Amino acid sequence: MKSYSLILGLILGMLVIGVLIIGFGGSQGPSTLRYNAATETTVQGKILHIDEFACPVNDGEMGEHLVLETPNGEVQVHLAASRIMRSVNFPFKVGETVAVVGSKVKFRGHQDVIAREIIIGDDIFRLRDSSGQLLLKQQ
C-alpha cells in the first residue's frame, strides 16, 4: 500500500508541475514579439502619448512607444530601445498626426504594431529594414 501511495504522489506532483508550466506560459518569452513582414500594415493617427517601459520587443530592455488615436481605436506602436531612441532624437510630438508602417503583433491582449517607418508630412523616419532588423545604432 505504501508504494502505491508513493507512485500516486509522484504522478500527482508531475501533473501539478505540468499544469503550472502551461498555465504560466513557459513559452511566452520575448520571441513572441518579433517583426514579421507577412503581417505588415499601415496605421494612421494622432499621437496621444509617448510611453517608456520594459518591453519584449526589446528583449525586456526599456523601450519607447507611441500610442496613436486611430479611427479604429487606440494603437500602441513599439519603436526601439530607449537608449537608441535618445541617441537619434526623432522629433515625435504629442498631438501630431503620423502614419506608421509596421508589423502587427498581439501584446497584452491588444493589436499593436512594431514600427518599421514613421511618416510625418514629407519626412520618413526609418527604424527597421524590410525584414525587421534595426537600422538605428546608438551613437
- What pLDDT, in 10s, does the model give residues 53-104? 998 888 888 999 999 999 999 999 999 999 999 888 888 999 999 999 999 9
List the grid coordinates of 72. Answer: 479604429
Same domain, 46 and 24: no
49: β partners: 67
> Is 114 in the same domain as 48?
yes
118 and 79 together in one domain: yes
- Segments forming the whole domain that contains residue 42: 33-126
Q: How far apart are alpha carbons 58 and 78 in whole angstroms?
A: 9
Q: Which cell numbers hold the place of 75?
A: 494603437
Q: How does residue 33 score in pLDDT terms, banded at 50, 70 and 90?
A: confident
CB atoms within 10 A of CB 104: 15
- Backbone φ and ψ for 125, nearest 5 degrees, come out as -105, 110
Contact 112, 51 (CB under 8 A): no
